[in-house]
Amino acid sequence: MQIYLDCIACFVRQALDAARLVTDDEKIHEQVVREVLSLAADLDMSQSPPVIGQQIHRLIRNLVGQDDPYHKIKRRFNNLALKLYPELRKQILGSDDRLETAIRLAIAGNIIDFGVNASVNESDLNKAISDSLAADFDSRQMQSFQDAIEQAEEILYLADNAGEIVFDRLLIEQLPYEKVTVVVKGMPVINDATMEDAVVAGLPRIIEVIDNGSDGPGTILESCSSAFRSRFSIADLAIAKGQGNYETLSDVNKDIFFVLKAKCPVIARDLGCEVGEMILRKSKSINDIVDLVKEAE
Amino acid sequence: MQIYLDCIACFVRQALDAARLVTDDEKIHEQVVREVLSLAADLDMSQSPPVIGQQIHRLIRNLVGQDDPYHKIKRRFNNLALKLYPELRKQILGSDDRLETAIRLAIAGNIIDFGVNASVNESDLNKAISDSLAADFDSRQMQSFQDAIEQAEEILYLADNAGEIVFDRLLIEQLPYEKVTVVVKGMPVINDATMEDAVVAGLPRIIEVIDNGSDGPGTILESCSSAFRSRFSIADLAIAKGQGNYETLSDVNKDIFFVLKAKCPVIARDLGCEVGEMILRKSKSINDIVDLVKEAE
């Protein structure tokens, strides 16, 4: 998905929110805003929004002189999610459709996104959980998700944020996880999950976890390591979690299921859904394009 | 009130909203956004927000090649307000406290602000009217407003927007209006009221109306005509309507009553109120400062 003009004001607001979250120094807040404005004035609008997010957060880390300014926040939400984990797991095991319940919970965890909202708190998370379990869910793609998972031999699960990764574990446990590799970010960016968070979530004990070598808040392929890129090209299915992964991979020709909460109006418009909606959506992959061509013939 | 860092993302968003409202040409939308970004990157933060608004809307008028792109919108809201006028006037005349009811309605009319919200419609206006009549209203300054009006010999009523100016007429009719001069903008900017709107509202038939010579969306004194500035310095009281007038005059040493709906979080914070609150607020004028000094002694 490429940058929309509406994204630009949002970059400026997000940069200010992020700067305020990581330092009280008002001079740095102003410096961040001014540098983001200069950056945005010459923006290449054909890029995906996380390419700018990557630059903005490099800038902020540089100006505050910290490699991982969201470290405390990530720890806090990991702990919060781990406290909820046993009860949520029980709920999944006791439900009529374990996979659907697990997907609903994985989407609830997607609320922990400090790129979109710098003031997420515990009660937002609790509300997201109860809302996600009760909300309408367009599960038409559920069967095709199940089929794709059965047929695939190598599945990449592209994780999104810290804390949220514990909710991802709940979903991964409902998958044939011997075929699944979890992918985290190569370096800290916003509150995106890195290897440290995967370890806290207990994932490496049950499954292979790799990192993508990048500090992009999404999966910016050209910014990822060649090791990750070759795993990505070999895998026959990817499950891409969250807005950043949707923004960076929605135009990539690959079998991908996007799993997210549409939190911003631009992404909701791009997806053709309402803000707040839970999304399980298959990519327009080569196969679909072939199908469409066949249908048209 | 000076620019807050939070205002900057809002300038970008407002500029895009405004550009979209006045033209469908997406190239112009992008051009407006890029030029506003460059402008904002070198911003003098000690200015008041409407100084930037003035520059942004000059830019938009220039790029779309129209002197008054909001002309239709202004006409629409004037007509809408004129249709409501007879019924609202009856409501004032039948109420226990005519002045307070008139102030409440004048504040309701302040919803017609295309600088803040480019999608105001008829139902927003109807809702604002019923909300304003029912809402809590901190009327502690009511008595001091009445005293100031009685004592003043020359009162300037600084109008805000088209459509809204019909609601201002309702309030002006409850004042000793032989002492009141209404001030409109000297040139079109956003949907701010100009002389044409004052005429449509029927004001020049009952009262003196002058213009301030400026295209600033507020009262930017240094941008106003010298004729207006001398009237402003002679007047012993001003009633300043709307956010733009608050932003540009809140730090001016003069007896002013600000009458507005606090529509943006930054202005609400500056006023120490909640977003959406109705405000009748006396300026921190020289007299108050003298009183404060006396109290402290």
How far is it, in rounded angstroms, from Cα A278 to Cα A132? Answer: 8
Angstroms from A61 CA to nearest CA on chain B: 19
At A136 the pLDDT is 85
Q: Is B1 helix (H, G, I), strand (E, B) or coil?
A: coil
Contact B37 A33 (CB under 8 A): no
pLDDT digit string, tens, across residues B47-88? 999 999 999 999 999 998 999 999 999 999 999 999 999 999
- Per-residue confidence band for A287, with pLDDT thresholds at 50, 70 and 90: low
Identify whether the C-beta of residue A22 lies closer than 8 Å to the C-beta of residue A60.
yes
At B191 the pLDDT is 96
- The tokens of B86 are what? 């007879």
Q: What is the mean pLDDT of residues A228-235?
A: 98
A vs B, Cβ pairs < 8 A, gives 48
Write out chain A residues lying below 8 Å of B30, CB-based. Answer: 5, 45
Whether A290 shows a pLDDT value over 70: the answer reads no
- The tokens of A27 are what? 């001079």
Q: What is the mean pLDDT of residues A209-219?
A: 98
**Helix (H) / strand (E) containing A157:** strand A155-158
Identify whether the C-beta of residue B52 lies closer than 8 Å to the C-beta of residue B3.
yes
At A76 the pLDDT is 95
Angle at A193 between CA A184 and CA A230, to 5 degrees: 10
Identify whether the C-beta of residue A184 lies closer than 8 Å to the C-beta of residue A198.
yes
Give the residue, A139 or B292, on which the prediction is more confident.
Answer: A139
How far is it, in rounded angstroms, from Cα A240 to Cα A254? Answer: 11
Inform me whether the C-beta atom of residue A265 falls under 8 Å from chain B C-beta atoms: no
Contact B5 A30 (CB under 8 A): yes
Please tell me which residue of chain A has the smallest CA distance to B15: A9
Please name the residue ranges forming H helices in chain A: 5-22, 26-41, 49-64, 71-93, 98-109, 122-134, 142-151, 164-172, 195-200, 226-234, 242-249, 265-271, 286-296
Inform me whether the C-beta atom of residue A290 falls under 8 Å from chain B C-beta atoms: no
pLDDT digit string, tens, across residues A17-76? 999 988 999 999 999 999 999 999 888 999 999 999 999 999 999 998 999 999 999 999
Inform me whether the C-beta atom of residue B13 falls under 8 Å from chain A C-beta atoms: yes
Give the neighbor-by-neighbor strand order of the sheet with B256-261: B208-211, B180-184, B155-158, B237-241, B256-261, B278-282
At B117 the pLDDT is 82
Nearest C-alpha neighbor of B128 from the set B159, B106, B95, B144: B106
Contact B5 A29 (CB under 8 A): yes
pLDDT digit string, tens, across residues B80-127? 999 999 999 999 999 999 999 999 999 999 999 888 887 889 999 999
Instruction: Considering only the beta carbons, identify the residue of B16, B29, B43 that sits closest to A9.
Output: B16
Domains and CATH numbers, chain A: 5-64 (no CATH), 71-291 (3.40.50.10880)
Share of chain A above pLDDT 70, in %: 96
Contact B12 A16 (CB under 8 A): no
Q: pTM of the entire structure? A: 0.84
Angstroms from B71 CA to nearest CA on chain A: 25
Contact A5 B13 (CB under 8 A): no
- Provide ipTM, 2 decimals: 0.81
- Per-residue confidence band for A292, with pLDDT thresholds at 50, 70 and 90: low
Contact A6 B12 (CB under 8 A): no
Identify whether the C-beta of residue A21 lies closer than 8 Å to the C-beta of residue A114.
yes
- The tokens of B257 are what? 């009553």
Nearest C-alpha neighbor of B116 from the set B273, B260, B281, B279: B260
Q: What is the mean pLDDT of residues A99-121?
A: 91
**End-to-end alpha-carbon separation of chain A, Å?**
28
φ/ψ bin of B128: left (φ > 0), alpha (ψ from -120 to 50), beta (otherwise): alpha
Q: What is the mean pLDDT of residues A119-135?
A: 92
Please tell me which residue of chain A has the smallest CA distance to B40: A37
- Per-residue confidence band for B42, with pLDDT thresholds at 50, 70 and 90: confident
At A297 the pLDDT is 57
Write out chain A residues lying below 8 Å of B45, CB-based. Answer: 30
Inform me whether the C-beta atom of residue A34 falls under 8 Å from chain B C-beta atoms: yes
Give the residue, B179 or A290, on which the prediction is more confident.
Answer: B179
What integer best gives the mean pLDDT of chain B? 93
Q: What is the mean pLDDT of residues A214-231?
A: 98
Q: What is the mean pLDDT of residues B257-271?
A: 95
Please tell me which residue of chain B has the smallest CA distance to A10: B9
Angstroms from B9 CA to nearest CA on chain A: 5
Instruction: Considering only the beta carbons, identify the residue of A5, A13, A41 that sits closest to B9.
Output: A13
Whether A226 shows a pLDDT value over 90: the answer reads yes
Q: How many Cβ atoms sit within 10 Å of the Cβ of residue B123?
A: 8
At B297 the pLDDT is 57
Angstroms from A45 CA to nearest CA on chain B: 10
What is the per-residue DSSP string for B141-159? GHHHHHHHHHH-SSEEEE-
